[in-house]
Amino acid sequence: MEELLLNGHSLKVVQITDFSESKDIPEHRVEEGYDVSDNQVYKPAEFQIQLEVEESDLEMIKQLYESKQPTEFVCKFGVFEDIVIKELHITQGGSTNSFRATVLLKQILKAKSKMAAIPLQQLQVTPDESDARGGKTATDSQQKQVPSAPEKQENKSWLDSIFDWFGSLFRG
């Protein structure tokens, strides 16, 4: 049996049944009909391990699973940071205080963000007030005369007056 480190704790490994690392290679079709690739995107590493643990180690694994906190994982394949326990299966071992645990670990890939300060003058979000047209006083709105506007007829509602006005436009 070999040992590994999970969250700084040494555990006995019965078997590492699965280890996978992969990457996506996006392809784009060009005008000539060929697919070209210009990038590679790493996918997170995944491990499925079978452990033989005592009750105290099992409690540490359960706490790590429930905490949802990324941790470090060290095995013969290397050192992997930002590992979380995705699945946990526990069965009774050979004795009363030993257990077999199948643990599925997955690496979380974290995005890195950067901030930059850009002065508003460079963005030209608001125009300079010295460029604005107009004065400091309000002006009256301009009155426009419409050559043929409906007028309210006596003994009729506004709506009837407007209908009559529209009718006169199309009749004559």
Distance CA 160, CA 163 (A): 5
Residue 166 lies in a domain: no
Residue 152 lies in a domain: no
Domain containing residue 98 = 2-27+38-107
- Reading the block at residue 59, the tokens are 């409690």
Question: Which CATH number do you get for residue 9?
Answer: 2.40.30.200
- 45 closest CA partner among 14, 16, 15, 65: 16
pLDDT at 106: 93
Structure confidence by residue, pLDDT tens digits, 10-24 = 887 777 778 888 888
Residue 67 lies in a domain: yes
Total of domains in the chain: 1
Residue 91 lies in a domain: yes
- 50 closest CA partner among 93, 84, 9: 93
- Reading the block at residue 111, the tokens are 């995005």
**Whether pLDDT at 126 is above 80:** no
Residue 126 lies in a domain: no
Please tell me the total number of residues recorded for the chain in this structure. Answer: 172
Single-letter code of the amino acid located at 145: Q
pLDDT at 26: 87
